Amino acid sequence: MSLTLVQVIAGGLLLGAVYALFSSGLTLIWGMMNVINFAHGDFVMLGMYVAFLVWTLMGAGPAAAVPIAALVLATLGIVCYFALIRHVMRGPMLAQILGTFGLALLLRYSALWYFGANFRTLPENLVGGTLQFGTIRIESSRLLAGVVALLVTAGLHLILTRTALGSRMLAVAEDAAAAELMGIRPDRMQATAWALAAGATGIAGALIANFFYVAPTVGETLGLVAFVTVALGGFGSVPGALVAGLLIGVVESVSAYAIGAVYKDIVVYALFVLALWLRPQGLLGKA
Amino acid sequence: MKRMVWPMVVPAIALALAVALAYPLVLTTPFQQRLGALVLLYAIGASAWNIVGGYAGQISVGHAVFFGCGAYGALASYQHLGLPPIAGLPIGVAVSVLIAAIIGVPTLRLSGHYFSMATIAVAELVRLVVSDTEWLGGAQGLSGPPVPRTVLDLSFISAVPYYYLFLAVLAAVLAVTWQMERSRIGFYLRAIRDSERAARSLGVAAPRYKLCAFMLSAALTAVAGALYAVMFGFIDPESGLGILISVKMLIMAALGGAGLLFGPLVGAAILVPLEEISNNLLGGNGAGLTFVVYGAIIVVIARFQPGGILGPITVLLRRHQAPQRAASPPVGA
């Protein structure tokens, strides 16, 4: 195995950790209330623009951008939940898909209208330069993104499995009526899930913005990556999203390296279609 | 019961048909005629989507792939075989049905969300592959005949011939849908949509009927794509396979009323003029704003009226019939 390949795989793992982070929000919402948020990628896009604004207005880097993006997006998540989601989730599936799809268009094209279609980038050395680990060289922005993403994903998983809040949320996911009889307010738990999920996308967006172009349509691409990750990992499973995210990051990097950057998305979607054929419940999902 | 509806519905349809036939003769500017043709074209696509999305309740977000099959089938057969574009229609339809089977067989056994995700992913996959296939024009796209060689090229300067062509095709698509709605498969599909578990427990082979609906829908969507290619004489990955094509079909059907015969036509008649006129007024910068409005409309429908505009009207009509139905129980309906 050549050194370049090791380097490519390391890069893929770091990118995959970020994929896992924003996909875990999507999988959380799906697991909690059987809603697929088609606007998920556009939440990430907004997180990226928050980081961009934090830099242009305050001249600050990710240390400020990440918490601000998390807060802004979590608030947006709560607003979306109360204004739209809690109404459409009782309706037919068409209403859910329409509702979140409409939200996606609304966010994407509001951003296009406001920020323009130009690709923007944050200054390259906002986060350090390049680090050398033995023979592997890694940009520190990617390393930061990967490590923070891993920590936040793990934190999300711990919140769900180890805290009282997590138990209450899972209780609502299992049977909202029974949970309500136990004194848990389903509305509040579902709103919390939206806040956590959207906050996670905000963090992911603010981290990605340090090494990725910022554009209004970037949410379309990232949203599709999140769908593939969630479907591959198993709907509702945060560890599944982590495994699938890392896998997709590596597959993407290796195929970009081995057969060309144009083909990396083709390989990822083909993998997804194949997974739907062979293991529709996902890698770590229950049948 | 069906007979009771006739006195109300027949004049309404006759009136709508008369209006549709007279439209390009009354409104004669090229913009208005082109607008009319576009409304009908999108209504064909949205009506095709309606068969699987509305009647069977399986929400496809990737119908652009079938639209693209039709469009590319038409222009590829011109480019490579020198045939009139419309002669490529059967190829487009065949490929479309094949892709529908490939997506549908594994995913229609699962819950509806898998189907939605699979359609979106396959459409995106096909768009990327086509963008990279020289034979299909790559990212540049394919063009139709620059000047019409024979009338079979269906290349006209005026939009009026397209208008009547599309009107005829739309009538055929609606007739097929209407026939399906009243047949055994139509009843099965609605039963599946309302409760798949209940339908299965009564012995309905749900996946098979959903697949039939999906393949029929795919075939008719390919027809819409071929007609688009014939009218515009140009297709590229974005205009033929872009995600917005899928979204438009879905939205038009849902705005008018998914699962209702005339829902997609009503939706197209509202959204196509909205888009064309706002693009005209706002110029190049308007495209973004148009979709902001699109998004807002969709959110509002989903939130307040998921049955679409025709939904409440249909409910009123049914309520109106209810007493009559009680007076004369349906015989073999």
pLDDT, tens digit, 9 for 90 and up, residues A130-188: 777 777 788 888 888 888 889 988 998 899 889 999 889 888 888 888 888 988 888 89
**Residue at B18 is within a domain:** no
Q: What is the CATH number of the domain that holds B125?
A: 1.10.3470
Burial of B328 (0-12, 13-18, 19+ CB in 10 A): exposed
Question: How many separate domains does chain B show?
Answer: 1
Indicate the residue of A105, A262, A266 with minimum beta-carbon distance to B295.
Answer: A105
* Cβ pair A88:B306 closer than 8 A: yes
Statement: residue B6 has pLDDT above 80: no
The helix (H) or strand (E) run that includes residue A138 is strand A136-139
- Give the contacts of B3 (CB within 8 A, at least 6 positions apart): none
Least confident residue range of A111-115, B17-21, B304-308: B304-308
**Residue at B24 is within a domain:** no
**Residue at B41 is within a domain:** yes
**Residue at A39 is within a domain:** yes
User: What average pLDDT score do residues A108-134 get?
Assistant: 81
**Residue at B128 is within a domain:** yes
**Residue at A285 is within a domain:** no
Question: Reduced to 3 states, what is the DSSP secondary structure of residue B165?
Answer: helix
Query: Which tokens belong to B325?
Result: 């139905």
Query: What residues make up the domain containing B185?
Result: 2-6+31-327
User: What is the pTM assigned to this prediction?
Assistant: 0.85
pLDDT at residue number B232: 92
User: What average pLDDT score do residues B72-81 get?
Assistant: 92
CA distances from B264 to B62, B269, B303, B310, B332 (A): 17, 8, 19, 10, 30
Give the orientation angle of helix B112-131 with respect to helix B89-107, to 10 degrees: 140
Q: Express each pLDDT in A184-216 by its tens digit.
A: 888 899 999 999 999 999 999 999 888 888 998
**Mean pLDDT for all residues in chain B:** 86
Exposure string (b/e) for A103-115, b if CB count within 10 Å is 16 or more? bbbbbbbbbbbeb
Question: How many separate domains does chain A show?
Answer: 1
**Residue at A215 is within a domain:** yes
Task: For chain A, say whether B286 makes contact (Cβ under 8 Å).
Answer: no
Complex prediction ipTM:
0.81
**Residue at B23 is within a domain:** no
Per CB-CB distance under 8 Å, the chain B contacts of A92 are 57, 306
- Rounded Cα–Cα distance for residues A144 and A131 (Å): 11
- Rounded Cα–Cα distance for residues B279 and B308 (Å): 25
Query: Which tokens belong to B103?
Result: 């997506």
Q: What is the CATH number of the domain that holds A56?
A: 1.10.3470
- State how far residue B164 is from chain A, nearest Cα, in angstroms: 32
Which candidate, B320, B327, B331, B129, places its Cα nearest to that of B237?
Answer: B129
Query: What residues make up the domain containing A133?
Result: 3-278
Q: Nearest residue on chain A to B300, judged by CA atoms?
A: A99
- Rounded Cα–Cα distance for residues B207 and B211 (Å): 6
**Residue at B163 is within a domain:** yes
**Residue at B19 is within a domain:** no
Task: For chain B, say whether A36 makes contact (Cβ under 8 Å).
Answer: yes
**Residue at B267 is within a domain:** yes
